[in-house]
Structure 1
Amino acid sequence: MTGFELGAKARAAGYRLQAQDSIGSTNAEALSAAAGGDPGGLWVVARQQTAGRGRRGRPWSSPHGNLAASLLLLPDADPSVSATLGFVAGVALSRALATVLPKGLVRIGIDGADAADGSGRVALKWPNDVLADGAKLAGILLEAGKAADGRQAVVVGIGINVVAAPEGLPYPATSIAALGVSRTAEQVFEVLSDTWVEAFALWNEGSGVAAVLEQWRGAAAGIGAPVAVTQDGQTVRGIFETIDEAGRLIVRANDNRRIAITAGDVHFGATASARS
């Protein structure tokens, strides 16, 4: 017995659960389930990942006691629309953390901003991170595959540092425990499974993308502040204006061009303000 359970809303919505203590990769397991004929709506969760990965295939370790969770979906939407499910996950995570963390510990959302990098609050960092006091607390990874019948399969992978943050990272990271809060991976997942139901209903098979992005912006780090985005060795610096209707980051560059960015590593603060 792992102790993981779906929340009441998730159970009522028909989601299913496959839980393990330790696993290689919850995303890989969910993609395998899709190829094997799973109809979707399956959460694969574990307290530890031994072969997890992040964006662009980067390795991502998950110490025992953290939460690794992947949701298999077979969305009836164009792949470009399905790509916005990462923002659904961000909204669900923001709502879950607002429930899990004691009120007043860190503020949730843009109204509580103390700094562009999210210091002093929980904030969503484009495209797929969640920050607490400016340090990475959680990450999201979307992966696409094929269902057994040839339909599009999307796996929404979510990793939350519950008891410890990975060491040796090139950026600051934190955990729920480091914030002084005692929670288990099971407790966090139960809440997350229910907040996902709410956010996914807002997405509504892609017709509610605008509403999801509006909520995402409300919890975002850095809007209106200097930002630097690096991709393939090239860096764009300017002001983070907004997220557009397709989920792209819009930067007003230092030469006043308005640039839409689909992927890249985002930096705030002194790094963002530096001139090339």
Structure 2
Amino acid sequence: MAFALAPTAASEGYRLEALDTVGSTNAQALEHARAGDPGKLWVVSKNQQSGRGRRGRAWQSPPGNLAATLLVVADYELKLASTLGFVAGLALADALDAVTPKGSIAVGIDAGSGAGEGARNRFALKWPNDVLASGAKLAGILLESTVLGENRFAVAVGIGVNVVAHPDGLPYPATSLHKLGATCDAETLFLALSDAWADNARLWSEGRGLSAIRKRWLERAAGIGSEVAVRVDNRIVRGIFETIDEDCRFVIRDHDGGVVTIAAGDVHFGAVASAGAV
């Protein structure tokens, strides 16, 4: 099966560039933006060789996994564009639900399944940019941007999913769809993802529907009500994960009863957070 857009995505003007091999789908998308591409372009591959994660980390992607980037070209506030990561998380979770047989995947407690709605989700969203399954990282999302001039900019919404394999030797548990017993391939998952993105982007509506996106995200959130430790620059903030605020920032109730709002950081749940091994 070749990569293809869902009919809903194609009808809304999305386009597709499928590559046998690519260095980085994000880098490829941003190159297109600098060359004048108008956006709504998906760049996808099953063989990404130089993928990137948050904070300059490498993203390991064995052949057969999905690397997909959506190029967005816009003139609204760049701060608002940062919430596209939450749109991406929802779209991917919806797509995974669509292609994975029910009953085959559970969410592990140690990954931050609290007592809230997230405890019932097979695929949980870990702030700000991960998708978890069975207590382990299944997918990551990375937003990168470039200024194009005249109040316009481009955002590459990168999505990497462990379909056939996951990297070893990581400081956190990781998994793949095949390890979880799913038989879905990258092409089938992308077809569902392009459809789910169109639905969630329509809900987001260039930020006008951010409150609805926030509500949906919280229903899938990992760790609400759980002990959490967040590394922010060179300090660790500990407490209970309460919610995300109207701007999708992470909100913790610390052990002194105060509220701490975090715009960026590395989140650790469960035994890692409780033991202080961050």
Shift of 1:113: 7.8
Provide the rounded CA distance (Å) in 1 between the counterparts of 2:207 and 2:237: 30
Q: Residue type matched to 1:163 in 2? A: V
Query: Which residue of structure 2 aligns with residue 211 of structure 1?
Result: 212
Q: Residue type matched to 1:255 in 2? A: D
Provide the rounded CA distance (Å) in 2 between the counterparts of 1:270 and 1:206: 36
Shift of 1:94: 1.1
CA deviation profile, 1:145-185 (whole Å, cap 9, x unmatched):
13376611111000000100012211110000001111111
Aligned-partner SS, 1:11: helix
Provide the rounded CA distance (Å) in 1 between the counterparts of 2:92 and 2:50: 23
Q: Report if aligned partners of 2:251, 2:262 keep a CA contact under 8 Å in 1.
A: yes
Query: Which residue of structure 1 aligns with residue 161 of structure 2?
Result: 160
Q: Report if aligned partners of 1:77, 1:206 keep a CA contact under 8 Å in 2.
A: no
Aligned-partner SS, 1:74: strand
Query: Which residue of structure 2 aligns with residue 140 of structure 1?
Result: 141
Query: Which residue of structure 2 aligns with residue 51 of structure 1?
Result: 50
Aligned pairs for 1:13-92 (under 5 A) are 13-92=12-91
Q: Report if aligned partners of 2:112, 2:224 keep a CA contact under 8 Å in 1.
A: no
Q: Residue type matched to 1:192 in 2? A: L
Q: Residue type matched to 1:117 in 2? A: G
Aligned-partner SS, 1:90: helix
Provide the rounded CA distance (Å) in 1 between the counterparts of 2:275 and 2:50: 36
Provide the rounded CA distance (Å) in 2 between the counterparts of 1:39 and 1:148: 14
Provide the rounded CA distance (Å) in 1 between the counterparts of 2:276 and 2:89: 31
Q: Residue type matched to 1:186 in 2? A: E
Kindly tell me the number of residue pairs found equivalent between the two proteins.
271
Aligned-partner SS, 1:131: strand
Provide the rounded CA distance (Å) in 1 between the counterparts of 2:131 and 2:7: 25
Query: Which residue of structure 1 aligns with residue 103 of structure 2?
Result: 104
CA deviation profile, 1:103-136 (whole Å, cap 9, x unmatched):
11225xxxx8856624883100000000001100
Query: Which residue of structure 1 aligns with residue 116 of structure 2?
Result: none
Runs of 4+ in 1 over 4 A off after TM superposition: 112-116
Using a 3 Å threshold, how does the CA distance of structure 1 residues 86 and 260 change in structure 2: closer, same or farther? Answer: same
Q: Residue type matched to 1:88 in 2? A: V
Provide the rounded CA distance (Å) in 2 between the counterparts of 1:256 and 1:149: 46
Provide the rounded CA distance (Å) in 2 between the counterparts of 1:230 and 1:125: 14
Using a 3 Å threshold, how does the CA distance of structure 1 residues 274 and 34 change in structure 2: closer, same or farther? Answer: same
CA deviation profile, 1:41-94 (whole Å, cap 9, x unmatched):
000000011111000110111100000000000134211111100000011011
Shift of 1:17: 0.4
When the two structures are superposed, what TM-score results if normalisation uses the length of structure 2?
Answer: 0.93
Return the match for 2:112 from 114, 117, 124.
Answer: 117
Shift of 1:231: 2.1
Q: Report if aligned partners of 1:26, 1:157 keep a CA contact under 8 Å in 2.
A: yes
CA deviation profile, 1:216-242 (whole Å, cap 9, x unmatched):
000000011111101223111100000
Aligned-partner SS, 2:197: helix
Percent identity between matched residues is 56
Provide the rounded CA distance (Å) in 2 between the counterparts of 1:121 and 1:190: 20
Q: Report if aligned partners of 1:27, 1:70 keep a CA contact under 8 Å in 2.
A: yes
CA deviation profile, 1:204-223 (whole Å, cap 9, x unmatched):
01101110011000000001
Aligned-partner SS, 2:230: strand
Q: Residue type matched to 2:157 in 1? A: V
Shift of 1:22: 1.3
Provide the rounded CA distance (Å) in 1 between the counterparts of 2:276 and 2:3: 49
Provide the rounded CA distance (Å) in 2 between the counterparts of 1:61 and 1:150: 34
Shift of 1:263: 1.0
**RMSD across aligned positions (CA):** 1.8
Unaligned runs of 5+ in 1: none
Q: Residue type matched to 2:112 in 1? A: D
Q: Residue type matched to 2:15 in 1? A: R
Unaligned runs of 5+ in 2: 114-118
